[in-house]
Amino acid sequence: MPLLSVEHVTRRFGGVVAVDDVSLGVESGQIAGLIGPNGAGKTTLFNLITRLYRPDSGEIAFDGESLLRTPPHRIVRRGIARTFQNVELFPSMTVLENVLVGSHGRGGRSARELLGELGLDAVVHRRAAGLAFGTMKRLELARALASSPRLLLLDEPAAGLSHEEVEELGALIRRIRASFDLTVLLVEHHMNLVMGVADRVHVLDFGRKLAEGSPAEVQRNPAVIEAYLGSERPQHAPA
């Protein structure tokens, strides 16, 4: 049984179907990628999993139990943590204080241990507002890990990072998966990152599930190439 199971989930906003009859599973210990063009429904699906939205139909289960009866403020206690497209920190708090807030009273590594594992020892007492963007991203990840999650949802963690920082992020995701015994679901537009770290990739397009498979299978899928990765046009073809 998958650790996370999404079954025939649909979510509408007025006349727009943001997520349309989507089903997918993420196995325990897996790094799964969720890709698709802008507006494909990826972040909406994250918001459904974390109960910020309620599906119009379908079921979402975690470790065999429905999430739909879990209020949003209890999702972390169920063992699910996430990061956001736009970094969401407490700017007036220190790095250490931000991580302490993320612990939610759950056991696990201490805040200082987490900061050490993510290479943030040197900025423990600095305010979050003054940090470099890449450092802020690591801090948000440390805060998510502070709740001792079993499932970590990463929403475009490479956005705004340099090429070197993206390579470091890929190594970091693999390392924390092993070190923290995590399952990871990753939304990302940076294809080299997704294909480099994911065990399995799910593809959305216009809210629907387009494809699923290993990174190699997805990269070869003609429907994915046409919808998202982009097929090469002949030199003489019109733009």
**pLDDT given at position 109:** 78
The pTM (predicted TM-score) of the whole model is 0.90
* CATH 3.40.50.300, the chain: domain bounds: 4-79+149-229
What confidence tens digit (pLDDT) does each residue in 196-210 have?
Answer: 999 999 999 999 999
3-state secondary structure of 75: helix
CA distance 148 to 229: 35
- How far, CA to CA in Å, does 13 sit from each of 38, 44, 85, 206? 16, 10, 20, 13
pLDDT band at 145 (very low <50, low <70, confident <90, very high): very high
Assign a CATH topology to domain 4-79+149-229: Rossmann fold (3.40.50)
CB 224 within 8 A of CB 204: no
- Confidence check: pLDDT of 17 > 70: yes
